[in-house]
């Protein structure tokens, strides 16, 4: 991979970036030899791609003030012989890996983070992407120019953390967009939005460090699936206790 990053403004700092690269991925042992599903004839993946974007950084003038970073990127990747696991034509319940001659992945990603007074940190990202099969398998191939299965057309997350001395509160939200479950894109899984909440306290002295955390996973009880027929857990609760013993070092 070869890239360039050039500053075009000093205050606020604004940089222009661009890179071009190639990629190679050999089939894994499971791809080749998984019992009943492996494909010994798989070829390695090869790719060529580029990305370009802008990075803006606002440095805090004082330690107690706020800092900000925002990044936006455009990307385009052409992949030859991409390895994808798909339901076999003989039995839809058995998945097997195959090579797809030509896949194009392109999109845009926006990310950023801000720190407010060294107490509140907010970070997140959002991306929109298309992973499209470009080649034809047959003259009347209905899967050409269709999305690859189970790859969402958009994803995002936002993380907010508040620290007040030894107390902390963390809220994280994850979004996953529409995912097609058939190669012809006539069926799919609906988008979902899951929020997790964690709060706790850290403690310690000259002998040990530790903490107690209480978490609520899937705070709003979202009913969703990551794959067809595999529903994910609803709201759940978790308590964690950690303890680390310090080892005193003798001074010379």
φ, ψ of residue 83 to 5 degrees: the values are -90, 120
| Residues forming a β-bridge with 244 | 209
Is residue 108 domain-resident? yes
Is residue 213 domain-resident? yes
d(CA 112, CA 31): 36
Is residue 71 domain-resident? yes
**Residue 32: pLDDT band with limits 50, 70, 90:** very high
46-97 pLDDT per residue, tens? 999 999 999 999 887 666 557 889 999 999 999 999 999 988 877 778 889 9
Is residue 252 domain-resident? no
φ, ψ of residue 189 to 5 degrees: the values are -100, 135
- Residue 80's domain is classified under what CATH number? 2.40.170.20
Name the DSSP class of 248: P
215-235 pLDDT per residue, tens? 999 999 999 999 888 899 999
Neighbour count for residue 11 (Cβ, 10 Å): 8
Is residue 40 domain-resident? yes
41-58 pLDDT per residue, tens? 999 999 999 999 999 998
SS3 category, 33:
helix
Contact 76, 49 (CB under 8 A): yes
Position 116 scores a pLDDT of 85
Position 71 scores a pLDDT of 96
Query: Any idea which residue has 């403690």 for tokens?
Result: 203
95-142 pLDDT per residue, tens? 899 998 899 999 999 999 998 878 899 999 999 999 999 888 777 888
Contact 96, 39 (CB under 8 A): yes
Count of domains observed in the chain: 1
Name the DSSP class of 183: T
Is residue 251 domain-resident? no
Position 64 scores a pLDDT of 53
Query: Any idea which residue has 């939005």 for tokens?
Result: 193
Is residue 250 domain-resident? no
Position 92 scores a pLDDT of 74
Q: Strands (DSSP E) along the chain, which ranges? A: 2-9, 13-25, 45-58, 67-87, 95-116, 120-133, 154-164, 167-176, 179-180, 188-189, 192-204, 208-217, 225-227, 230-231, 236-245
d(CA 179, CA 247): 50
| Residues forming a β-bridge with 162 | 120, 169
CA 131 to chain CA centroid, nearest Å: 15
d(CA 144, CA 11): 47
Domain of 15 in residue numbering reads as 2-245
d(CA 99, CA 105): 16
155-210 pLDDT per residue, tens? 999 999 999 989 999 999 999 999 999 989 999 999 999 999 999 999 888 888 88
Is residue 177 domain-resident? yes
Alpha helices in 66-221 (DSSP H): none
For 57, residues 6+ apart whose C-beta sits below 8 A from its C-beta are 12, 13, 15, 67, 68, 69
């Amino acid at each position: 991979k070869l890239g360039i990053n050039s500053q075009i403004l000093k205050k606020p700092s604004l940089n222009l970036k661009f890179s071009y690269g190639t990629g190679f991925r050999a089939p894994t042992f499971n791809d080749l030899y998984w019992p009943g599903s492996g494909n010994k004839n798989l070829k390695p993946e090869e790719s060529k791609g580029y990305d370009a974007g802008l990075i803006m950084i606002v440095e805090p003038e004082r330690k107690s003030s706020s800092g900000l970073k925002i990044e936006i990127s455009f990307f385009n990747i052409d992949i030859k012989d991409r390895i994808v696991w798909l339901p076999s034509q003989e039995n839809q319940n058995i998945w097997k890996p195959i090579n797809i001659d030509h896949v194009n992945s392109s999109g845009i990603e926006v990310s950023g983070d801000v720190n407010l007074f060294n107490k509140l940190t907010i970070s997140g990202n959002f991306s929109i992407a298309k992973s499209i099969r470009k080649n034809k398998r047959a003259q009347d191939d209905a899967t050409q120019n269709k999305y690859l299965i189970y790859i969402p057309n958009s994803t995002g997350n936002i993380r907010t953390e508040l620290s007040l001395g030894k107390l902390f509160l963390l809220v994280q939200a994850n979004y996953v967009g529409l995912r097609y479950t058939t190669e012809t894109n006539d069926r799919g899984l609906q988008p979902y939005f899951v929020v997790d909440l964690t709060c706790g306290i850290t403690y310690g002295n000259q002998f040990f460090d530790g903490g107690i955390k209480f978490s609520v996973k899937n705070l709003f009880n979202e009913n969703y699936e990551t794959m067809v027929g595999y529903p994910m857990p609803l709201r759940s609760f978790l308590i964690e206790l950690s303890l680390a013993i310090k080892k005193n070092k003798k001074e010379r």
